[in-house]
Structure 1
Amino acid sequence: MANILEPEYQNSVPPSIIVFDLNDDSIVRRYELPQDQFVQNKSLFANIAIEDNDCSRIFAYLADISSPGLVVYSWKDNDSWLVNHNYFNIDPLAGEFNVSGIVFHWSDGIFGMGLSEIKPDGSSDLYFHPMTSTDEFVVSTKFLKDKALSQKSNGEFRHLGSRGPKGQSSVSFLDKKTGVLFYALINLNAIACWKTTNPRYTMQSQGRVYMSNVTMVFPSDIKVDSDDNMWVLSNRLPTFMYKGFNASEVNFRLLTAPVKDAINGTACDAKGIVTPEMKAKMKNHLDSINPPKSTPKAGQSGSEGINSRLNAVLILLAVLNLLMMH
């Protein structure tokens, strides 16, 4: 097995997708990537996202962080293709990291990925970011799953926004039930979140789930299970790489929390977000309780001001009512 921590490591076998049957640990399928979809002795596939709503049409998305690209694999066709885009590349201004006082420079491309709930047309939204970046992006899998179309980018990729200073992120995972995207902030030893129904991706619209300079040093994986529990693995990798491994210390930790508790009180809590659907409900609600304005009669000056204040009160009450029902 190649040692990826060595500067001149060698790939002994081509990168492969291996599918196991967890009932008996047998290998169901092994698929080797074609040579034109990776760079020998350079490519590093550090993350994979699976779109598996239909067993006959499963797709896998493999992120190559060292030769930034996205390999799309079709289970049905047992075929794969490489997708390239500038958004997979690093931001050179975000290359300096500081994890618990250890300063280093990395150049890792597309890393974190999270798939949304399936849409009526059978596609999902793939949220992604390079590790050496503070920005988040999204693209529809409808585009990625079309082998021919995916080679002709025409505005399908969108830039959502920035996580702000020290906002470099490694892994991410999207909880389909809540629509919340969880991601690791490796410089801050923290897990953060953003609700995908929020129309804005800003520092203000993102929430801080958990932060610890002891237990959350370099969070390296995030998952949400079928019981709505979030799991986070931290492994202190920069400490191991640049200062050495101390077996007398706790280096690996597995932390968990119910999703509802993790996002409670954050910007990702559904009660704190007015989505487009809620705006439509508010409009319908206001239309039903706010009668059309009548033409003011002579001598009734000031009534417009009273009506405006009354409308403002009605709007506020409607908003509060809908937020409580959401």
Structure 2
Amino acid sequence: MEVFIKTTIIFFFITYSRCMRSKLEEVFSWKIIDFDFPSIEKREIAIKNKSFIPENNQLMGLEVWKNKLFVSLPPWRTGLAATLAFIDLDHISEIEGKSPKLKPYPNWETHDLRNSTKGNKLANVIRLNVDHCGRLWVADRGIINIMGSRDRIHSPKIQIFDAETDEVLKVYNIPDDMINDYSFFGSIVADVSTSDCAKAYAYVSDLRANALFVYSLEQDDMWRVEHHFFHFEPLSGNYIVGDVNFQWTDGIIGISLSPEQADGYKILYFCPMSSTRLFAVSTRIIQNNTIDWSSWNNTDIYYQFEVIGNRGAFMQSTTSTIDSESGIMFYTLLCQDTIACWNPKNEYSINGQGVIARDKKTLSYPNDVKVDKNGILWVLSNRLHQFVFTGQNFSDINFRIFRVPVHEAIRGTVCEKN
């Protein structure tokens, strides 16, 4: 094990010297998150009654559609102004510059939880996904104050918006018997037919209950997929991020889809949070709602899931995304302050992955990556380890969003070869 860890460190020392940090253009940065309240008075009232506590608002996920940059803000603690917000990329004032105020999405009313029974409320969004039909998909656990009293606002649900008009297209309430008290939605990915927007699935990872939820829009039905590979690896539950050492036991979190394969289906790649391995399964398998997924003795189905490879020690990843044109995967390496890439034509191993960027300051806790419809890679870092364990320094920059064209990102890496 000691030799393996040393090999890992040497590998990243070498690749770091080749990495150009300037590849990533820093688009936005914040010391602390603020919102575009309707008026100064309403903001002051919100702060006074503690419905808005700026220090408790943390960026987590991102997505881009045309001129809208969507961001999610999980309700880790109280005082969350909105769990889903956006930035209008075409209208950013010179005064705000690189630290614009966030606009609740789709409006303030959706996040007013004082009357949770009125309208389609949003309480807890972790990550989000926009499909090629221009629909924004979010999974909402319905629980706030996650690190405290865990108050339930509403039933867990999937909500779909028209990203162009901001209209609510669909709300699917997830049956209570499909989740448990520990359920925590890590990621959501939409899988949509290239020719028919109605033929769509959503895959939602539950990192605490070690499950994958599959929702069919056409059937308006959901089923729960279970597998051994969704669980954490005991030897990968130790994290060292910056000067913070902690232990987590989170299961399946990062999920991403390959381009369509010859059989018309895609490959769903996934990894548990506390793991250094990448796994895969054909969407042909998980779209089959006749399988008894609760059976732990289904050998035929067990072998439909594959182990793709191992990244190496202390290379846990929070999430991944795949460029639909090249098929290249981009992902975070939490303990390495790194954004990495993998070309499926290469072996998935220490030497088979490339480094896009690595920086212990600006990429401290890289938390989300997305490739938009124009082939631009977007990256978000948020120093979440400090927020959870040691406290953030709000006189310093804590949140950053970067971008880089995919072809520039992979230039000079092993991901560009073959």
TM-score (normalizing by structure 2): 0.62
1:63-78 correspondence runs (5 A): 63-78=205-220
1:155-170 correspondence runs (5 A): 155-170=303-318
1:225 aligns with one of 372, 377, 390:
372
Alignment partner of 1:239: what SS?
A: helix
Structure ranking higher on relative contact order (CA contacts 8 Å, 6+ apart)? 2
1:236 aligns with one of 369, 383, 401:
383
Q: What per-residue deviation string (whole Å, max 9, x for no partner) do you get for residues 28-48 of structure 1?
A: 1111111221113x1000210
Residue 20 of structure 1 pairs with residue 149 of structure 2: no
Tell me what 1:181 maps to. 329
| RMSD over equivalenced CA pairs, Å | 1.3
Aligned equivalents of 2:411 and 2:170: distance in 1?
A: 41
Aligned equivalents of 1:238 and 1:69: distance in 2?
A: 24
Residue 29 of structure 1 pairs with residue 177 of structure 2: no
Aligned equivalents of 1:168 and 1:209: distance in 2?
A: 16
1:171 aligns with one of 319, 323, 343:
319
Alignment partner of 2:153: what SS?
A: coil
Alignment partner of 1:217: what SS?
A: coil
Partners of 2:380 and 2:400 within 8 A in 1 = yes
Aligned equivalents of 1:70 and 1:81: distance in 2?
A: 9
Partners of 1:143 and 1:150 within 8 A in 2 = no
Question: Per-residue deviation at 1:22?
Answer: 2.1
Aligned equivalents of 2:277 and 2:292: distance in 1?
A: 22
Q: What per-residue deviation string (whole Å, max 9, x for no partner) do you get for residues 204-253 of structure 1?
A: 11111110011111111111112111000111100111111322111110
Residue 216 of structure 1 pairs with residue 358 of structure 2: no
Where does structure 1 differ by over 3 angstroms across 4 or more consecutive aligned residues? none
Partners of 1:179 and 1:197 within 8 A in 2 = no
Aligned equivalents of 2:326 and 2:243: distance in 1?
A: 35
Question: Per-residue deviation at 1:24?
Answer: 2.5
Tell me what 1:97 maps to. 239
Question: Per-residue deviation at 1:167?
Answer: 1.0
Alignment partner of 1:202: what SS?
A: coil
Larger radius of gyration: 1
2:253 aligns with one of 111, 115, 122:
111
5+ long unaligned stretches in structure 2: 1-122, 124-143
Q: Percent identity?
A: 37
Alignment partner of 1:170: what SS?
A: coil
Tell me what 2:191 maps to. 51
Aligned equivalents of 2:316 and 2:363: distance in 1?
A: 15
Aligned equivalents of 1:11 and 1:102: distance in 2?
A: 31
1:287-298 correspondence runs (5 A): none
Aligned equivalents of 2:252 and 2:215: distance in 1?
A: 17
Alignment partner of 1:80: what SS?
A: strand
Alignment partner of 2:223: what SS?
A: strand
